[in-house]
Amino acid sequence: MEIERKLYKNSSPEAIVERLLKAGKKVTAPVRSGNTVDFREIKTPAEVEYNVLTTVQSAKKVAFPKVDKVVEFEVLKNNVNTLEIDFDSYPEQILFGARPCDAAGFIPLHAIFNWDYADQFFLKRYEKTTIVSFACTTNDEYCFCTSVGGNPGNTEGSDIQITRTGNSEFLIEIITPKGKTLSALFEDLLVPETEKTEKEKHLAEVPKAFDFEKVYNRLSSTFESPVWEEQAIRCLGCGACAFVCPACACFDFQDEKSLKKGARLKLWDSCGFSGFTIHTSGHNPRESQGDRWRQRVMHKFSYMPHRLQVRGCTGCGRCSRACPVDMNIKEHISQIESL
Amino acid sequence: MSNLIKTAEELLQSKKVNLVIGYEKGTGNKTRPAFIRRAEDAARLVFYAGKSQNLAVYILRQEVKRAGKTAFVATVPALRSMLQLASECQIKDGELIAVFVREDLETIVLEDFKSVEEFLATADTGFNPEEQELLSRLQSMTAPERFSFWTSEFEKCIKCYACRAACPMCYCHKCTTECNQPQWIAPASHPLGVMEWHLMRAMHLTGRCVNCGECATACPVAIPLNILTYSMMESMEAEFGTKPGMKADTKYALSVYKPEDKESFIL
Amino acid sequence: MSNGNIYMPNLMRIEKITEEAPFVKTFRLKFEDEKVAEEFSFRTGQFGEYSVFGEGESTFCIASSPTRKGYIECTFRQAGKVTSSLSRLDEGDVIGFRGPYGNIFPIEEWKGKNLLFIAGGIALPPMRSVIWNCLDTRQNYKDITILYGAKTVSDLVYKNELEEWKNRADVNLVVTVDPGGQTPDWKGEIGFVPTVLEKIKPSPENTVAIVCGPPIMIKFTFPVLEKAGFKDDMIYTTLENRMKCGLGKCGRCNVGELFVCKDGPVFTKAQLNNLPDEY
């Protein structure tokens, strides 16, 4: 479908949000809580925080929650009953105020969760999600979307994109049929473009930090390089980077049971944890933090592109902002490029 | 700053140490841990008071232990972590050199536990005003109000374990949450799993936490965890009179029996 | 999977439990749902995720052969949480099964060749499926040699089947125990598997070698085969990494750019040579 362009002449998108909520839709948007802004379900338009470059965490939880029940069971004396999860009961939902790097993050997630076996927990939720993203008019030193095939006005993965083009004007791009369906709720608030708005003029300028192709080719010969230990020496081995990342999909299964009833849960996990690959025998194929850091980078910048033809990183910089010891991935990858 | 660089250069050149752990310039106006092995790299070192995380978390790391004799740039909480680790028999006297940077950027090199103890005896080891305010606010709440406060804070927790990873006292090779026979703490980040984790961690840090605040600083969703762990320490000090990290041979109050211990609550 | 839930296990009832060795058991399992039982099929080399509902899942290869219908078997050693729970179950109890996952031993390609099976300790179970598959279609293969070793005599698994194989004229079975692991009446070999392998002087001529064992055994067995002239693409092994989902999504069994659960667990030595040492 060709992208439809309209204008919204108002100082803030609040009225659009009001329409969505009035229609009874479940809306998740950036909400401020003290010093941090993160995605939360909102009940009123006033809750949405617009004055922030980006949220601490990505929006992946709308389709890949941090705790998800995948099997429910009842353990009886000589039998077990398993109960089906009703995928059709997932509600329609709107992700409002994602950044282009958030919307793009669903693409590698989709590639993993649909690889040969279809994970309906992700796919059905994603199917029911309409993504309304905001193009970026500013950026900070952590952003590097342009180095990984993205840009501040990238519409990949978005159903509707909103770009601020003036104090009281926004460009509304309706990109997909899903977006078109949603836009019916606030169509009357929009006016046609009189002259073509130059979207690029209003976008942030994100300088390219490295060349993805170059890095991809470089990585195949760096497995034994000491660079991994050197870069990872300060890494503490927590899961902050993986959990805030829009493209990280690694998960754990844990069973919980109380008397007879129980469930198998799917939980976020991180390859950075020391126990991620440990065998019951005690043998750990990735024993040092350098080994684990290498896996993170290789998986995102080499293995995923090769096996699934997707990039495992959208350049949002969240990992670097969240990291307690400033493991700045843009910096690290640039260093690897010039090895 | 230049004094710190000179100190580090000297320590490395004289082979007194093989590794200096300090801070270097990070992204934006952040500082981050730096591992300096060669004297010519010491020029990377910086120091900004108030932007200095607790580097004692690296002391027990396998890469650091392998390096041999090490020096690290220590703030007051980091010095206390060092002595607490000593009390827990994790480091030997003389294997670690602490470098304290004064306000005027002069360095004080502390080569053994005794000198660290003497230094700390005159140092300020209390709360900052912001922490004091939050602690007072919590202490003036009723128990249900406090529970409600923490429940609301913990809703944000994603069990990334940055709090554990940044804490010098959390050095167990296999954390209690990783024990699965039995599974003491539910790994999931649902409300029960999160509450179990933070309460357990606070219990395990009781009398060991030196309030460096790294847990709260490291938390990506800004939960004020240090208030929880530190208030346990306050209780310990009030009940047992011990303050962790002031001496290198502090016996852990919860595992030491003295005939004069109170028994009124059990008899 | 009735409504497309790829993580939903099928229910299986434990029909028979055999105690193979200290802490090692074999379960014979039958699907509860007859329709599932009818439709189920697998090929040798594949594995499954076996559930104890409420405790978790564990990854074991399917240790029985696809030539034997109506049941599947798995053999495991009690080592961690789930295997300990499995050990406490009785005949008649219900567990879960997801699978079959993974790739297969390419036994079609081995037709007309000699087969040399080398296994150590608890690694005989993954091989048992392919050994039985080949023995059940014996006419397809030339000479079959099985070299199996364990720490001690009591640690040998499938003791009854070892007897069967010993008594077959069309199988050359060599069983060994580590020095010091023999009983006074032990009639088999004494020595580590790689040492005994050297002793039997295997010939690479038209032969496929299939090796499975603990890392230390593999480490010393490969050089013996190499010295004897075996080419890397004629040596097969099956890997075991920590797994959870078994179908290439959770990220745990990633070795280089391959997933042990999808691209393996069966690999040739030639493939292993290209993989980083992350397993």
CATH label, C114-238, candidates 3.40.50.2020, 3.40.50.2300, 3.40.50.80, 3.40.50.720: 3.40.50.80
Residues B149 and B40 in one domain: no
pLDDT at residue A15 above 60?
yes
Domain C-terminal end among B121, B140, B166? B121
Global pTM exceeds 0.90: yes
Do A238 and B218 count as a contact with CB atoms less than 8 A apart?
A: yes
Partners of chain B (3+ Cβ pairs below 8 A): A, C
B110 & B215 share domain: no
> C10-101 in CATH: which number?
2.40.30.10
Asked which of B48-52, C161-165, C208-212 is least confident by mean pLDDT, the reply is B48-52
Any domain includes B255? no
Those of residues 294-323 in A touching chain C at CB distance below 8 A are 295, 298-299, 302-303, 306-307
pLDDT band (50, 70, 90) for residue B50: confident
Residue of C nearest to B179 (CA): C81
Calpha distance C5→A127 (Å, rounded): 16
Under 8 Å CB-to-CB from A185, ≥6 apart: which residues? Answer: A19, A20, A23, A25
Mean pLDDT within B223-234:
86
User: Which residue shows structure tokens 């905001």?
Assistant: A134
How much is the pLDDT for C1?
A: 46
Q: Are B142 and B111 members of one domain?
A: no
Listed range (A18-22, C88-92, C241-245, C248-252) with the worst mean pLDDT? C241-245
Of B188, B245, B60, B187, the residue nearest A236 (C-alpha): B60
pLDDT at B235: 82
Question: What is the overall mean pLDDT for chain C?
Answer: 94
Measured CA to CA, the distance from residue A2 to residue A262 in angstroms comes to 48
What are the sequence ranges of the domains in chain C?
A: 10-101, 114-238
pLDDT tens digits for range B118-157: 999 998 877 778 878 888 898 899 999 999 999 999 999 9
Among left, alpha and beta (phi > 0; psi -120 to 50; other), residue C158 is left
C4 contact residues in A (CB cutoff 8 A): 87, 118, 120
pLDDT in tens, C61-73: 999 999 999 999 9
Q: Report chain B residues whose CB lies below 8 A from the CB of C81.
A: 180-181, 183
Residue B262 has pLDDT above 80, yes or no: no
Residue of chain C nearest B178, judged by CA positions: C81
Q: What confidence category does residue A34 fall into, taking pLDDT thresholds of 50, 70 and 90?
A: confident
Mean pLDDT, rounded, for C145-150 = 96
Distance CA A147, CA A138 (A): 16
Number of structural domains, chain B? 2
Interchain contact, A239 vs B178, CB within 8 Å: no
- One DSSP character per residue, C117-145 reads EEEEGGGHHHHHHHHHHHHHTGGG-S-EE
pLDDT at res. B129: 86
Contacts of B220 in chain A (CB under 8 A): 56-57, 240, 243-244, 322
Shared domain for B13 and B101, answered yes or no, is yes
Whether B106 and B175 share a structural domain: no
Distance CA C222, CA C210 (A): 11
Q: Residues B7, B83: one domain?
A: yes
- In-domain check, residue B147: yes
pLDDT at B1: 52
| Residue C214: per-residue pLDDT | 86
Q: What length is written for chain A?
A: 339
Of the three residues B121, B140, B162, the one that is the final residue of a domain is B121
Q: What is the pLDDT of residues B156-209, one digit of tens each?
A: 999 999 999 999 999 999 999 999 999 999 999 999 999 999 999 999 999 899
Residue range of the domain that includes B6: 2-121
| pLDDT one-digit tens code per residue, B58-103 | 999 999 999 999 999 999 999 999 999 999 999 999 999 999 999 8
Task: State residue A299's pLDDT score.
Answer: 97
Average confidence (pLDDT) over C185-209: 94
Specify the pLDDT at position C2.
55
Report if residue B257 sits inside a domain.
Answer: no
The pLDDT of residue A102 is above 80: yes
* Averaged pLDDT for residues B102-122: 94
Residue C60 with chain A: CB contacts under 8 Å: none
Q: Are B223 and B136 in a shared domain? A: yes
